[in-house]
């Protein structure tokens, strides 16, 4: 082989390295995925992954639904289906979304293989290399992976305890436009945010929608946790007051079980048409069987009561986590969510959550470092703690171990660098960046 041919053949690890499309460079394992192998060891208390506690779902509800589907319409359930999804399930999805104020037509619902698939399809339809996606800072880790895989730039907009800050959004849009950047959409998780746990207030939802209208920016509203509130519901979905400018993403992964891999997108008519075509190009059709089982479950089971059961489970575990933080790490600051799966913790200035993770795993506790949730490398002083899967006793044990890790790390820094003792960071820095200059 010639020298030139050899240089184009690949590298020692991958002989096809030079054959990949440029966008393949954006496909990298997230920090969350990298944790699963270690965190799944039984002796490790994992406060890392956002796995629903599916054991709270009575198995007979699912088994009965599966048996009825196979007895009554097994041939259809095991066959190819529509690229848009089963009509009856799309009608039932309207009932689910109505709980958050959404009124829609089943024709504008597209069933997908989980809501993350819907996110990937929207990105595929809209993003060209160099385009900009606006998102909260921090933001959902796998969304960032998807945007990067389409060679888009992510511009993080700061948050506070009431969610995305509208004035900061205006400033970012103005700066990007003046730089000649092309903004394709705003990606937001307004209710019980992943990873921050905060909820966008109703007043801010309206203000953010108005900013998007004024600047001709599509809003991509991702809402996996909206029905999993504790004391009071989140405000109605942004899609409830804006039909033409919002694509709404929903899923059964958190309110039923992720193993079914069934989500959906509710989109304006023209976007819906393209989503169906993109869905067919990607998977031909979402699983007829899992759609049929979920449809049967929604038809026959007390699904609203089951969601209440999940709420009680997650409320107890959130209280266990916050109580343990108050007991073992009172010097830190954290968010106190009213729903969802996550608490966002801010560490002292001296600590780096990513660098500290190996020590934590050695002490048999795992978390997700804050850097996973920023496209620009921010978040080193933050960590996401998930309370959805471990039992309350495991949560308390995990936080006690984490407290040992943090204090040992600070003692080590104190010894070798004289960095000082544990202190509480300011409230303004809770989300990993200084407050925006909106002047």
Residue in the block written with tokens 């729903």 = 339
Structural domain boundaries enclosing 350: 25-50+306-416
Question: pLDDT band for position 438 (50/70/90)?
Answer: very low
Among the ranges given (99-103, 219-223, 394-398, 417-421), the one the predictor scored with the smallest mean pLDDT: 417-421
When divided into structural domains, the chain yields a total of 2
Exposed e or buried b per residue across 93-127, where buried means at least 16 C-beta atoms within 10 angstroms of its C-beta: bbebbeebebebebebbbbbbbbbbbbbbbbbebb
- C-alpha 401/C-alpha 114 separation (Å) is 34
Contacts of 130 (CB under 8 A, 6+ apart): 151, 152, 153, 182
Is residue 9 domain-resident? no
| CATH code of residue 364 | 3.90.1150.10
Among 246, 266, 300, give the residue marking a domain's end.
Answer: 300
Same domain, 113 and 98: yes
Same domain, 115 and 258: yes
Is residue 234 domain-resident? yes
pLDDT per residue as tens digits for the range 394-437: 999 999 999 999 999 998 888 876 544 444 444 445 665 433 33
Q: What phi and psi, each to the nearest 5 degrees, are found at residue 415?
A: -70, -45
Q: What is the pLDDT of residue 38?
A: 64
Determine the distance from the C-alpha atom of residue 69 to the mean position of all C-alpha atoms in its chain, rounded to a whole number: 31
Q: What is the pLDDT of residue 400?
A: 98
Q: What is the pLDDT of residue 414?
A: 81
pLDDT per residue as tens digits for the range 55-75: 999 999 999 999 999 999 999
Is residue 41 domain-resident? yes
Is residue 116 domain-resident? yes
Is residue 433 domain-resident? no
Residue 158 contacts residue 433 (beta carbons within 8 Å) = yes
Q: What is the pLDDT of residue 37?
A: 65
Mean of all residue pLDDT scores within the chain:
90
Same domain, 130 and 221: yes
Same domain, 312 and 286: no
Q: How is residue 95 written in tokens?
A: 């009932």
Mean pLDDT, range 2-22, rounded to an integer? 65
Is residue 66 domain-resident? yes
């Amino acid at each position: 082989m010639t020298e030139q041919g050899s240089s184009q053949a690949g590298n020692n690890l991958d002989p096809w390295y030079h054959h990949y499309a440029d966008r393949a460079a954006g496909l990298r394992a997230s920090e969350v995925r990298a944790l699963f192998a270690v965190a799944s060891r039984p002796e490790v208390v994992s406060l890392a992954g956002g796995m629903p506690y599916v054991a709270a779902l009575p198995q007979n509800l699912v088994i009965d639904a599966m048996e009825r589907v196979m007895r009554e319409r097994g041939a259809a359930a095991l066959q190819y289906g529509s690229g848009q999804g089963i009509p009856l399930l799309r009608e039932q999805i309207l009932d689910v979304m109505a709980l958050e104020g959404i009124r829609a037509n089943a024709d504008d619902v597209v069933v997908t293989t989980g809501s993350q698939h819907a996110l990937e399809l929207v990105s595929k339809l809209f993003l060209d290399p160099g385009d900009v996606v606006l998102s909260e800072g921090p933001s959902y880790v796998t969304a960032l992976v998807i945007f990067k895989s389409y060679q888009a730039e992510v511009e993080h907009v700061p948050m506070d305890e009431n969610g995305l800050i509208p004035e900061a959004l205006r400033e970012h849009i103005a700066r990007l436009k003046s730089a000649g950047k092309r903004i394709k959409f705003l990606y937001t998780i307004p209710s019980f945010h992943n990873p921050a746990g905060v909820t966008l207030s109703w007043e801010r939802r309206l203000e953010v929608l108005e900013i998007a209208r004024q600047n001709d920016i599509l809003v991509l509203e991702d809402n996996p946790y909206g029905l999993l509130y504790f004391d009071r519901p989140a405000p109605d979905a942004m899609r409830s007051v804006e039909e033409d400018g919002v694509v709404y993403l929903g899923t059964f992964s958190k309110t039923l079980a992720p193993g079914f891999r069934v989500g959906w997108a509710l989109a304006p008519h023209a976007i819906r048409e393209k989503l169906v075509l993109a869905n067919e190009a990607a998977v031909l059709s979402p699983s007829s069987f899992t759609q049929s089982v979920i449809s049967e479950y929604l038809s026959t089971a007390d699904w609203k009561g089951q969601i209440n059961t999940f709420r009680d489970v997650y409320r107890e575990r959130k209280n266990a986590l916050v109580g343990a933080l108050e007991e073992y790490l009172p010097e830190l600051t954290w968010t106190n969510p009213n729903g969802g799966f996550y608490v966002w913790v801010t560490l002292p200035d001296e600590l780096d959550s990513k660098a500290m993770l190996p020590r934590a795993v050695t002490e048999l506790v795992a978390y997700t470092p804050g850097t996973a949730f920023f496209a620009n490398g921010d978040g080193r002083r933050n960590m996401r703690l998930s309370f959805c899967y471990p039992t309350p006793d495991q949560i308390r044990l995990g936080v006690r171990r984490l407290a040992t890790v943090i204090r040992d790390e600070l003692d080590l820094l104190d010894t070798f660098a004289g960095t000082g003792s544990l202190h509480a960071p300011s409230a303004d820095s809770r989300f990993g960046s200084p407050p925006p200059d909106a002047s």
